[in-house]
Amino acid sequence: MTEAVSQPDQPQTVEGGDMTGDRDLFSKFDPLIKMRSDLLSTGVTDPFGLVMERVISPTVAMCNGRETILLGTYNYMGMTFDPDVIAAGKQALDDFGAGTTGSRVLNGTYAGHKAVEEALCDFYGMKHAMVFSTGYQANLGIISTIAGKGDYIVLDIDSHASIWDGCKMGDAEVVPFKHNDIEAMEKRLKRIPEGAGKLVVLEGVYSMLGDIAPLKEMIAVAKKYGAMVLVDEAHSMGFIGPNGRGVAEEQGCLDDVDFVIGTFSKSVGTVGGFCVSNHPKFEIMRLVCRPYVFTASLPPSVVATATTSIRKLMTASEKRAHLWDSSRTLHKGLTDAGFQLGTTEPQSAIISVIMPDLERGAMMWEALLREGLYVNLARPPATPANMTLLRCSLCAEHSAEQVQQIIGMFTRAGEAVGILG
Amino acid sequence: MDREETSARIAALIEPFNKKGIAIDDTTRFTDDLEFDSLTVMDFVAAIEDEFDIIISMNAQAEIETYGQLVDAVVKLQG
């Protein structure tokens, strides 16, 4: 699931226009336009209209002329301003130019694209890596291509929009199950007709509540029924697991994952997406996967920054330890202050604070911004159980002092808005 | 299982989801009349799948708007 949008991750059918009206194709969006204008007319700052005028570091930016601590980015490992990463990007700009202007399968594969795929193979200890232009396209491409007509995709109901859209783009039968419910997943696998191809799609970390999946148990069940397993580790890469390979590594079941999907736009600190796999026929995907073929490849500077960042993340165990410290401290601090959190224990770098309702959630979001703190406001229908959440995502570059500052800001804002007693 | 028996079992399952106690016939629509949101749909579909030991995929759900269509789909899926 995703934040910062006014629509659910699971795609909805939008009805056509009113037959009696003027047939403006945009009239189907009128309810949403009205909801937004009603919200903004109350005088609140548009939660989806924030502009960062200047970015000072991975954890601080100027927003509305004010220095603001960033606690709502996916810059988990703080690689965006790493000097080696930036130097590699500048060098690639000089050596290879601003862009490739071509598909990976035509003129868009440079030495840098091969190098970043090699870095991914080394990072995950896998045989094959395929780099897409975004993480969204990686899910879209792999899922829609490998699961065809007559195959079954069994997926968690709280899956990210890119997974749902990959399902919608393909021709397979799509069967969701209740979030992290092993029994519900097994029941569905059991009912799939004999002989049908099966793909189970899971995420390591679910980004709304910051909770992790019981991958070891779930993957064992999937394998029992002969399913292939795809795990999206977008929110765990670089941070979770002894080598930062994600939740599957942490739980000791990475060898049983057929496809790991990941992104460069979180811990890696740039943009792009990928799939790594040990499947012996994996390379054919380069020719049959439409979101890989029919789009331009990433610019040379982007793949150069990604390569450098990925290689540095392989040995970033001290940063990982510090980020875990921050996650535990913030989780405890907010719990002690009286906030209700999405998980009883810190499970990732995401700490989700549950708001009593959308109105007070929006007020709290704005009060925090005035304090000089940016978090993500996540609201129905993009949230599980229609909750309003303030999602905090920590960065390894947040200092211990900043984490204490953040707890103080939350406490003051919570009292001002009347969420804390 | 014939249509009548299937319909009776679905009618019993729908009870806890029919919060406003709307009278149900074959033309009752899940979203417009019963006001099911996506979370309710998921729980309701799971209840039906468990009762009849079938899969109603999202693809199949997309074709089902009314109670009558659901009964027909369940009859068909039971084979």
Nearest to A178 among B46, B55, B62 (CB): B46
Checking if the pLDDT of A2 tops 80, the result is no
**Which of A9-13, A78-82, A252-256, B51-55 has the least mean pLDDT?**
A9-13
A294 and A373 inside one domain? no
A302 and A362 inside one domain? no
Mean pLDDT (whole number) for A183-189: 97
A39 in any annotated domain:
no
Q: Which of A151, A167, A187, A192 best probes binding to B when mutated, by most B CB atoms within 10 angstroms? A: A187
Q: Over pLDDT 70: what percentage of chain A?
A: 97
- Average pLDDT for chain A: 94
Q: Which residue type, as a one-letter code, is found at position A416?
A: A
The pTM assigned to this predicted structure is: 0.94
* pLDDT value at residue A39: 79
CATH assignment at residue B24: 1.10.1200.10
* pLDDT value at residue A50: 86
A21 in any annotated domain:
no
A60 and A198 inside one domain? no
Question: How many domains in chain A?
Answer: 2
Mean pLDDT (whole number) for A213-220: 98
Render pLDDT for A283-313 as a digit per residue (tens, 0 to 9): 999 999 999 999 999 999 999 999 999 999 9
* pLDDT value at residue A3: 47
* pLDDT value at residue A4: 46
A247 and A360 inside one domain? no
Nearest to B53 among A175, A191, A385 (CB): A191
* B51: containing domain: 3-77
Tally C-beta pairs within 8 A across A and B. Answer: 37
* A91: containing domain: 83-313
**Using the beta-carbon criterion (under 8 Å), do B58 and A188 form an inter-chain contact?**
no
Q: Tell me the pLDDT band of A274, cut-offs 50, 70 and 90.
A: very high
A202 and A335 inside one domain? no
A361 and A389 inside one domain? yes
A283 and A389 inside one domain? no
Provide, as residue numbers in chain A, all residues whose Cβ is less than 8 Å from the Cβ of B38.
8, 10, 381
A27 in any annotated domain:
no
A216 in any annotated domain:
yes
By the CB < 8 Å criterion, does B22 face chain A? Answer: no
Note every long-range contact of A97-103, with CB atoms under 8 Å and residues 24 or more positions apart, other chains counting: A97/A300, A98/A299, A98/A301, A99/A296, A99/A299, A99/A300, A100/A296, A100/A297, A100/A298, A100/A299, A100/A300, A101/A296, A102/A296, A102/A297, A103/A293, A103/A294, A103/A295, A103/A296, A103/A297
A191 and A308 inside one domain? yes
Mean pLDDT (whole number) for A161-173: 97
A182 in any annotated domain:
yes
A340 and A363 inside one domain? yes
**Using the beta-carbon criterion (under 8 Å), do B55 and A192 form an inter-chain contact?**
yes
| Averages of pLDDT over each 10 residues, chain B, 79 residues | 92 91 92 87 93 95 94 93
- Which pair of structure tokens corresponds to residue A27? 């009239």
Checking if the pLDDT of A348 tops 90, the result is yes
Mean pLDDT (whole number) for A128-135: 98
Question: How many domains in chain B?
Answer: 1
Report yes or no for ipTM above 0.85: yes
By the CB < 8 Å criterion, does B23 face chain A? Answer: no
CATH assignment at residue A389: 3.90.1150.10
A380 in any annotated domain:
yes
Short-list A324, A372, A352, CA closest to A60: A372
User: What residues does B66 pair with on adjacent strands?
Assistant: B29
